[in-house]
Amino acid sequence: MVKTKYKKTFFYRDELNDDFAKIQIRPKNIDEKFKYSHGKVYWFFAILIRFFVIPILYVVSKICYGTTIKNKKVLKKLKNRGYFIYSNHTTAFDPINHACLVNPTKYSLIIASVDALSIKGIGWLVHLLGAIPVPNNLKMYKNFSQCLKYNIEKKHKIVIYPEAHIWPYYTDIRPFKSVSFRYPVELNAPIVVSTTRFKRRKFFHTPKLIITLSNPIFPNKDLTFKEQINDLRNKTYEIMKAVSENSEKYEYYHYEKL
């Protein structure tokens, strides 16, 4: 393990629920009135902002994080269809990387917590860049589900972070639930597993981000509905663990369980 004087130590109790994002946010009260689908005015501004903002964020990601994408060629197989990306969650910039560097010409929908849309001053921008909140009741879920279906049919990509919470620069893979894997099963859509790992950089304090993409994985229709969900979850976890364990582990932040 490479040691560094910049290391911080985080102590955790619950790998499923502890969050170290350290962003002070007062969450908005989002209910069934939230609009998951939008008209022409929204799309005009969304496309306009993406046209100007994405190139800037691309450059920022390259300079600040040195972000590199490995195995991008697999996305050519999904050029003419919508798909899901499942990724570990290690920086607040993760959604930007997946929107701007992973197949940036394909529109990204990012499933996020309400907090992401509640950031003072830029919540509206986050939404225009594709972030939508996880539903918190059945009425919201209906509109949410229709939104996912629409975007898959439009051949967009939908990004999900099954770990849910940010653990900055965490080098391992945390356990996560299977609930979010019902979406590709319901829509019979493929998934791509995206694993972020880190490498030391010579002239920067922060490590380089390396994102490795897996080959597309399709739901196994020989299994029951619940079995398909668990199968996708398990395959995703196994791929992330394999990439993490077979890579250089540069521990910029250290984590210890209480």
| Residue 166 and residue 90 in contact, taking contact as beta carbons nearer than 8 Å | yes
Percent of the chain with pLDDT over 70: 91
Query: What is the largest distance, in Å, between two alpha-carbon atoms of the chain?
Result: 52
pLDDT beyond 50 at 14: yes
3-state secondary structure of 18: coil
Confirm whether 112 is domain-assigned: yes
Quote the Cα angle for 99-152-80, to 5°.
80
Is residue 255's pLDDT more than 50? Answer: yes
- Please indicate, yes or no, if residue 95 is contained in any of the structural domains: yes
Q: Tell me, yes or no, whether 1 lies in a domain.
A: no
Measured distance between the N- and C-terminal CA atoms of the chain, rounded to whole angstroms: 21
Kindly report, residue by residue over 52-103, the tens digit of the pLDDT: 888 898 898 998 889 999 999 999 999 999 999 999 999 888 888 888 889 8
- State the Cα–Cα distance between residues 119 and 25, nearest whole angstrom: 6
Q: For residue 156, what pLDDT band results from cuts at 50, 70 and 90?
A: very high
Q: How many domains does the chain have?
A: 1
Is the per-residue pLDDT at 247 higher than 50? yes
Spacing of C-alpha 132 from chain mean position: 12
Which among 88, 97, 127, 91 is positioned nearest to 109, based on CA atoms? Answer: 127
User: Where are the extended beta strands (E) located within 2-156?
Assistant: 8-12, 68-70, 83-87, 108-112, 131-133
Distances in Å between the alpha carbon of 175 and those of 28, 33, 234, 238? 28, 33, 10, 11
pLDDT in tens, 90-107: 988 888 888 888 988 888
Q: Is the dihedral of CA 165, 84, 100, 214 positive or negative?
A: positive
Indicate whether 60 belongs to any domain: yes
Residue 117: give the domain boundaries.
8-257
Kindly state the average pLDDT of the residues 188-194. Answer: 97
Inside any domain, residue 236: yes
Contact 213, 193 (CB under 8 A): yes
pLDDT of the residue at 57: 86
d(CA 210, CA 22): 23
Does some domain include residue 2?
Answer: no
Domain CATH for 136 = 3.40.1130
What confidence tier does 193 reach under pLDDT thresholds 50, 70, 90?
very high
If residue 164 lies in a helix (H) or strand (E), which one and from where to where? Answer: none
pLDDT digits (tens, 9 = 90+) for 101-144: 898 888 889 998 777 776 666 667 777 778 888 888 888 888 89
3 belongs to a structural domain? no
pLDDT of 35 = 80
Structure tokens at 170: 């965490």
